[in-house]
C-alpha cells in the first residue's frame, strides 16, 4: 500500500520509527500538482502513520519557477518548465529532524497527543481551478503500536427511584441499580451494583431517568426509551415493558427529555413540548385526562428552553425566564396559588429571571438570577415543619448555586466552590451529611469539593465531579449507588464502572 502512494508521487511515504514520521515527495509536472497528506496517530506512546491521502490537482496553466513558503511547517521550492513536459520532484520537509533516508525525505517529530493530519503543500503562482481527487492508502501497523481508545467520561447523571444512569462523552449510556422492569436496558432482569453499558445506544446527547424507566435523546432528534411501560411512558405505541431500548414514536427533533413516575416529556427544537404516558392529573398537558402511549403536544407552550419532570407534575423554563407547570397540584406545587390540578401549563406566581427550574416530589424549585434558590409547594421549613407555599419562597443559607436538582421530598444544589448542599427528608441518608436527620436548611454533603452537577432521586443522590468521576449516597437497594455492594451510605461513595 505504501508503494502505491510512493509511485503516485514519485517519492516515498515513510513509516514512523521511535515517534518520528517520514516526509513525502511532491511532484509538479505535466500540468499536475501532487500533495501528500499523512495521518498520524499516537498508539501505545508511539506515533505511527495510519494513512496517506494522495491529492492530485490539475493546473490549467503550468507554473513558472517560483519559491514557496506554504506554512510554518513546510518549506519547498518548485521549478517547472513552461511546457511542463517533464516531471520534477522535490523533497518537502516537516519540522527540523535528523535525516535517515535522503530519498524518503526528512523525518520529523509529530507533537500531536492523539490524531493529527500532517499536510505538505506546494504553492506556486497562477494555480487555478484545482480539482482534487483523493486516494486513501492505509499502512499496516503492528498490534503493539495500537493505542487504546480514549476512555469515555460521564457528562450527565440521572437518578430515579431504584436506579441511576450516566450519559458518557462518547454518546453511550451506562446504568446501575435495580432492573426488575428493564430500566437498565441490558436485555434481562438482573440488577447490577456497578455501571454497565446499555447496548444499542452510542449517539445519545441527553438522558433522563424516571421511576422505573429511562430515556435517551439521540443525535438527530430521535429518542429511545426502555423499562416499565404500563402507562405508555416509553412512547412506542404499546404498554409492553422493554428490556432493551425501543424507539419513541412522533419524536424527530428533540433536544432534551425529562421523565416522571409514569410519564416522559420531550423538548423540541421549536420550543414546544410533547409528553407520553399516564394522564390522571393532566401530566401530559394536552387539555384532558386521557393516557397516551405516544407523545402528544403540550398546549399553550411554544417558548420552552428547558423542562423538568417529577412523579406527577412537570414544569418548563421559558425563554423569557419565567416558569410554567402542569399536572398534579397538591400543596400548590404548580406555583399558581391554587390547589387545582392543571391539564395545561399555568404560570408560576412571581417567577422572573429564572436560570433553571426543577419539579420534585411534593414541591418545585427554581435557580434565581442572583444564584439563590426559591421553592413552592409542600416545603420543609428551617423549623423542621412542612408547610404549603403557594408562591416561591427563598431557601435560606444557599448562595452561589450553579446547578439544582429536585428529588422526592429533598433537593440538592452544587455551588461555585464545588461543594454540594442538600435539604429536606433524610431518612435514608440522602442528604449525604453523615446523618439521617432531616433539615429544612441546606447541609453540606460530606467530602465533596469539586462537584459540577448533581442528580436527586427518590432516596439517593449522585454528583458528577470535575475529575470525570461520580459519587452517590443514600439508600442502596439493588445497588443504585453503584458502589459494588448494596450497603447504604449516608456519605458519598464512588460509582464503579464509569
**Cell output for 344:** 395545561
**DSSP string for residues in 261-295:** SSEEEEEETTS-EEEEE--TTSTT-SSS---EEEE
Whether residues 334 and 281 share a domain: the answer is yes
Mean pLDDT of 305-320: 96
Mean pLDDT of 213-238: 98
Last residue of a domain, one of 100, 123, 145: 145
The β-bridge partners of 63 are none
pLDDT score, position 90: 40
For the full predicted model, state whether its pTM sits above 0.75: no
Report the percent of the chain where pLDDT is more than 90. 69
pLDDT at 122 over 80: no
Mean pLDDT of 313-332: 97
Report the percent of the chain where pLDDT is more than 70. 70
Whether residues 353 and 455 share a domain: the answer is yes
Whether residues 170 and 275 share a domain: the answer is yes
Whether residues 101 and 187 share a domain: the answer is no
Mean pLDDT of 154-158: 98
pLDDT at 193 over 90: yes
pLDDT at 125 over 50: no
pLDDT score, position 291: 98
Whether residues 280 and 312 share a domain: the answer is yes
**Cell output for 104:** 524518503
pLDDT score, position 471: 98
pLDDT score, position 237: 98
Per residue in 11-60, pLDDT tens? 222 222 223 233 333 333 333 333 333 333 333 333 333 333 333 333 33
pLDDT score, position 150: 86
How far apart CA 494 and CA 483 sit, in angstroms, is 6
**Cell output for 51:** 494513512
Between 115 and 151, the more confident residue is: 151
pLDDT score, position 128: 29
- Domain holding 372, by residue range, is 154-494
pLDDT score, position 498: 96
How far apart CA 466 and CA 295 sit, in angstroms, is 36
Residue 383's pLDDT band, with cuts at 50, 70 and 90, is confident
Per residue in 435-451, pLDDT tens? 999 999 999 999 999 99
Find, among 344, 362, 216, 346, the residue nearest to 279 by Cα.
Answer: 344
Per residue in 481-490, pLDDT tens? 999 999 999 9
pLDDT score, position 223: 98
Last residue of a domain, one of 116, 145, 174: 145
Per residue in 441-479, pLDDT tens? 999 999 999 999 999 999 999 999 999 999 999 999 999
Domain at 184, CATH number: 2.130.10.30
Whether residues 186 and 325 share a domain: the answer is yes
Whether residues 301 and 255 share a domain: the answer is yes
The sheet that has 420-424: what strands, in order across it?
Answer: 401-406, 410-415, 420-424, 439-444
Phi/psi of residue 257, nearest 5 degrees: -145, 155
Whether residues 161 and 141 share a domain: the answer is no
The β-bridge partners of 48 are 41
pLDDT score, position 89: 40
pLDDT at 84 over 50: no
Residue 147's pLDDT band, with cuts at 50, 70 and 90, is low
pLDDT at 289 over 90: yes
In 3-state terms, what secondary structure has residue 9? helix
Residue 301's pLDDT band, with cuts at 50, 70 and 90, is very high
The β-bridge partners of 462 are 455, 472
Whether residues 405 and 442 share a domain: the answer is yes
Q: Give the count of domains, the chain.
A: 2
Whether residues 190 and 237 share a domain: the answer is yes
* Range with the largest mean pLDDT of 56-65, 79-88, 169-178: 169-178
Last residue of a domain, one of 120, 145, 170: 145
Instruction: From residue 315, give the alpha-carbon distance in Å to each of 306, 309, 342.
Output: 9, 6, 12
Whether residues 160 and 139 share a domain: the answer is no
pLDDT score, position 13: 26
Residue 196's pLDDT band, with cuts at 50, 70 and 90, is very high
pLDDT at 163 over 70: yes
Whether residues 139 and 193 share a domain: the answer is no
pLDDT score, position 384: 86
Amino acid at each position: 500500500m505504501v508503494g502505491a502512494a510512493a509511485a503516485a508521487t514519485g517519492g516515498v511515504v515513510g513509516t514512523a520509527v521511535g515517534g518520528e514520521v517520514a516526509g513525502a515527495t511532491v511532484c509538479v509536472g505535466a500540468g499536475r500538482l501532487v500533495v501528500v497528506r499523512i495521518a498520524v496517530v499516537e498508539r501505545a506512546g508511539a506515533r505511527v502513520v495510519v494513512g496517506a491521502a494522495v491529492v492530485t490537482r490539475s493546473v490549467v496553466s503550468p507554473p513558472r519557477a517560483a519559491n514557496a513558503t506554504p506554512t510554518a511547517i513546510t518549506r519547498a521550492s518548485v521549478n517547472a518548465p513552461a511546457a511542463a513536459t517533464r516531471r520534477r520532484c522535490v523533497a518537502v520537509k516537516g519540522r527540523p529532524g535528523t535525516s535517515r533516508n535522503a530519498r524518503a525525505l526528512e523525518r520529523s517529530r509529530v507533537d500531536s497527543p492523539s490524531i493529527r493530519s500532517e499536510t505538505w503543500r506546494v504553492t506556486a503562482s497562477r494555480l487555478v481551478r484545482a480539482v482534487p481527487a483523493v486516494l486513501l492508502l492505509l499502512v499496516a501497523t503492528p498490534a503493539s503500536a495500537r493505542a487504546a481508545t480514549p476512555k469515555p467520561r460521564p457528562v450527565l447523571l440521572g437518578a430515579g427511584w431504584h436506579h441511576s444512569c450516566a450519559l458518557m462523552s462518547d454518546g453511550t449510556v451506562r446504568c446501575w441499580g435495580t432492573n426488575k422492569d428493564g430500566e437498565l436496558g441490558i436485555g434481562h432482569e438482573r440488577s447490577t451494583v456497578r455501571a454497565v453499558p446499555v447496548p444499542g445506544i452510542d449517539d445519545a446527547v441527553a438522558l433522563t431517568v424516571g421511576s422505573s424507566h429511562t430515556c435517551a435523546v439521540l443525535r438527530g432528534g430521535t429518542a429511545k426509551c426502555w423499562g416499565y411501560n404500563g402507562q405508555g411512558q416509553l412512547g412506542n405505541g404499546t404498554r409492553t415493558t422493554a428490556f432493551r431500548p425501543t424507539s419513541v414514536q412522533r419524536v424527530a427533533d428533540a433536544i432534551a427529555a425529562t421523565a416522571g413516575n409514569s410519564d416522559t416529556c420531550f423538548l423540541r427544537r421549536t420550543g414546544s413540548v410533547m409528553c407520553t404516558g399516564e394522564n390522571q392529573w393532566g401530566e401530559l398537558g394536552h387539555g384532558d385526562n386521557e393516557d397516551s402511549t405516544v407523545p402528544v403536544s403540550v398546549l399553550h407552550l411554544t417558548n420552552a428552553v428547558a423542562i423538568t419532570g417529577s412523579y406527577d407534575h412537570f414544569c418548563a423554563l421559558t425563554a423569557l425566564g419565567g416558569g410554567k407547570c402542569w399536572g398534579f397540584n397538591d400543596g400548590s406545587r404548580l406555583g399558581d396559588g391554587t390547589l387545582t390540578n392543571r391539564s395545561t401549563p399555568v404560570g408560576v406566581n412571581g417567577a422572573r429571571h429564572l436560570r433553571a427550574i426543577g419539579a420534585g416530589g411534593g414541591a418545585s424549585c427554581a435557580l434565581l438570577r442572583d444564584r439563590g434558590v426559591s421553592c413552592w409547594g409542600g416545603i420543609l421549613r428551617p423549623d423542621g415543619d412542612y408547610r404549603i407555599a403557594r408562591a416561591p419562597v427563598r431557601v435560606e443559607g444557599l448562595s452561589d448555586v450553579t446547578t439544582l436538582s429536585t428529588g422526592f421530598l429533598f433537593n440538592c444544589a452544587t455551588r461555585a466552590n464545588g461543594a454540594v448542599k442538600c435539604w429536606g427528608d433524610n431518612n435514608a441518608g440522602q442528604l449525604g451529611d453523615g446523618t439521617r436527620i432531616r433539615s429544612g436548611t441546606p447541609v453540606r454533603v460530606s467530602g465533596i469539593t469539586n462537584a459540577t452537577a448533581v442528580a436527586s432521586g427518590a432516596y439517593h443522590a449522585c454528583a458528577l465531579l470535575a475529575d470525570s468521576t461520580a459519587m452517590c449516597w443514600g439508600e442502596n437497594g439493588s445497588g443504585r449507588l453503584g458502589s459494588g455492594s448494596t450497603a447504604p451510605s449516608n456519605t458519598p461513595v464512588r460509582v464503579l464502572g464509569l
